[in-house]
Amino acid sequence: MKRIILSAILMAFASGLYANPAEKNDTLSTSVVTGTRVSMLRDQVPAPVSVVGSQAIVNSDENALMPVLMEQVPGLFVTSRGVTGYGVSGGSAGAISLRGFGAGAGRVLILIDGHPQFESIYGHPVADEYLAANAEKVEVSRGAASVLYGSNAMGGAINILTKQPVSDGNKLSLKLLGGSYGTYRGQVYDSYKSGRFSASATFNYDHTDGHRANSAFSSLGGMLGAAYQLSPVWKAKARLSFVDADSQNPGTVASPMLDGTARILRGMGGVSLENNCGKSSGTVDLYYNWGHHIINDGHLEGAPAQPFLFHGTDYTAGLTAYQTASFFDGNKLTAGVDLLFYGGNAYRNPETEIYADHKKLSEQAVYLLDTHTLGSVTLSAGLRMDRHEAYGIEWLPQFGLSWMPGSATTLKASVSKGFRMPNMRELYMYAVANEALLPEKAWSYDLTAGHHFLDGALNVEASVFNTVGSNIIEVNIVDGKRQNRNVGQFANTGAELSADWKLSGAMSLNANYSFLHMEKIYTGAPVHKAWIGADWKAGKFSLNGGAMYIGDLFLTTGETPRKQSYVDVKLRAAYRLTDGLSLFVRGANLLNRKFETMDGFPEPGITILGGISWDI
């Protein structure tokens, strides 16, 4: 293992000797909004928060956002089964794990501009919905974040902040690329700002033939946004986005699949009204998410085709309102209200196989979060009351402390309670359904230390955590029948390290490492995960790259679990022909390692893509 880690580090530093940008680096010392709803320095936020900025997102050349986050955030892992695309249903990839919490079960919450995003029938996020071209930056709160965001944030929250026009005039960006396995992508971003009005639009297309038979994927997506400054205090915004994705499930190598297809259509719309009058600021936000999934679960060669396709339609409608006020120096008090209405239907044969018949559920919550800075110490305390029509009231406290004994050192501690409401599948669908289920619960305990060396050129942060979960929903035998029950428990402990180093105006390094000990083993959550990357620029030429080491990733559980360890090396070279116009080429799995992140689904070998990037 030590040799593999060493080779990964050396390879990344070798790539760093030739790497990318001279722009301001995304560092550990930036401001964030995810931990408090309002902008606050990371050093003052008690819980550990990772920030993935626009530089890392653009340099990835990815259509999906999740591969970028996996590289940059310690403890975050996403399964994959091919060149691009994830799919849904059996055999799908895109299972997100944070500190051992699986988002596939709804234990990690994805948000877009603070709005919860999940398929409301099954309760899981849809990885193909989160597009890199739409994101300006991403903030990841590691540890329970339910005080602000409610259910599904028991393991953490991933908040995707979308692009907003920042300067007057019209700006157009275009990226086209193609390469291995019949893969090609196109991304267009246009923004306009004049006076009080601003608008932006993105368009994305992604396609691959796949590295295995019957593993093709294609996706079409876009986003429209507009904003108007009504007065110096008030600002109105509106947004609309959609993703239409078609994927194929090739099955495992041992049992290849035919006709395993999924058609996913998902969309989001919302309007908001923001206010900022100095000592008080807030937002009222209305949003509506919807989805329509058509799935063919496929069949083995020689077996009959599926007689019916699965159809699922879901929606989530909500209102989020919060206001933050400062009543005296150093104090910020945030009060918020969340209303959520969701439901859907699911069936195969519309006459005999109806799994969810237009089910509807609702949830209401109020919360308070108070932060107070006394000299070098910032204290934080919050409480949320969450009421759900299916199981009643849940109380969620949170406490935290941040101490800066010097201008360059930060010590932080936090304790928070998270929960996950039972999803509609667990409550009402299939033979194992149980309408008496209660929420899953977890307590997160975090200690974090950070230091800014060399006048902020080198930033280092280390965290240790312990998470204890109870009431976990598992299938048990009750009176001779299988049924969902609140009987499971778990305890995850671990350590995380992040660092970034601006060596010069042209070169920077970034690295992270996480260790995870799981009392109960889960698939898709590696024990060791490390990334080290570098960026450098010389004149018109730039290069960036890195190496990711995954150690002891469990592919199966049981008495003799199967696990995987591997190194994935990536490299990107670019040459600027004129101002705004560049040619680039990128490669992944450059060591041509054979590995899997899902049992029976081998990853592609060396993958090379090249293209142009044009900013007008």
CATH number, domain with residue 469: 2.40.170.20
> What pLDDT, on the 0 to 100 scale, is given for residue 23?
37
For the stretch 181-204, pLDDT in tens is 999 999 999 999 999 999 999 999
- The confidence band for 22, taking pLDDT boundaries of 50, 70 and 90, is very low
Q: What is the pLDDT averaged over residues 384-408? A: 93
> Which domain does 150 fall in, by range?
2-615
- How many domains does the chain contain in total? 1
Residue with the larger pLDDT of the pair 330 and 40: 330
Q: Would you list the DSSP string of 375-426? A: TTEEEEEEEEEEEETTTEEEEEEEEEEEEEEETTEEEEEEEEEEEEPPPHHH
Q: What is the pLDDT averaged over residues 387-414? A: 93
Q: What is the pLDDT averaged over residues 565-582? A: 95
- The answer to whether 333 and 327 have CB atoms below 8 angstroms apart is yes
Residue 350 scores a pLDDT above 90:
no
The mean pLDDT value of the chain amounts to 90
Residue 27 scores a pLDDT above 80:
no
- The confidence band for 592, taking pLDDT boundaries of 50, 70 and 90, is very high
Residue 43 scores a pLDDT above 90:
no
Residue 20 scores a pLDDT above 50:
no
Torsion from C-alpha of 214, 132, 69, 242, nearest 10 degrees: -70
> What pLDDT, on the 0 to 100 scale, is given for residue 28?
59
CA distances from residue 426 to 136, 420, 535 in whole angstroms, order as listed: 35, 12, 46
> What pLDDT, on the 0 to 100 scale, is given for residue 327?
86
User: Which range, of 39-48, 276-285, 503-512, 521-530, averages the lowest pLDDT?
Assistant: 39-48
> What pLDDT, on the 0 to 100 scale, is given for residue 279?
87
- For residues 86 and 369, give the distance between their C-alpha atoms in angstroms, rounded to a whole number: 37
Q: 């540890």: which residue's tokens?
A: 143
Residue 304 scores a pLDDT above 80:
yes
For the stretch 70-110, pLDDT in tens is 999 999 999 999 999 999 888 888 999 999 987 567 789 99
Residue 12 scores a pLDDT above 70:
no
Residue 280 scores a pLDDT above 50:
yes
Q: Phi/psi zone of residue 605: left (φ > 0), alpha (ψ -120 to 50 degrees), beta?
A: beta
Residue 21 scores a pLDDT above 70:
no
CA distances from residue 229 to 39, 52, 115, 167, 235 in whole angstroms, order as listed: 20, 28, 22, 14, 4
Q: What is the pLDDT averaged over residues 357-371? A: 94
SS3 assignment, position 177: strand
Residue 468 scores a pLDDT above 60:
yes
For the stretch 575-591, pLDDT in tens is 999 988 999 999 999 99
User: Which range, of 67-71, 165-169, 364-368, averages the lowest pLDDT?
Assistant: 165-169
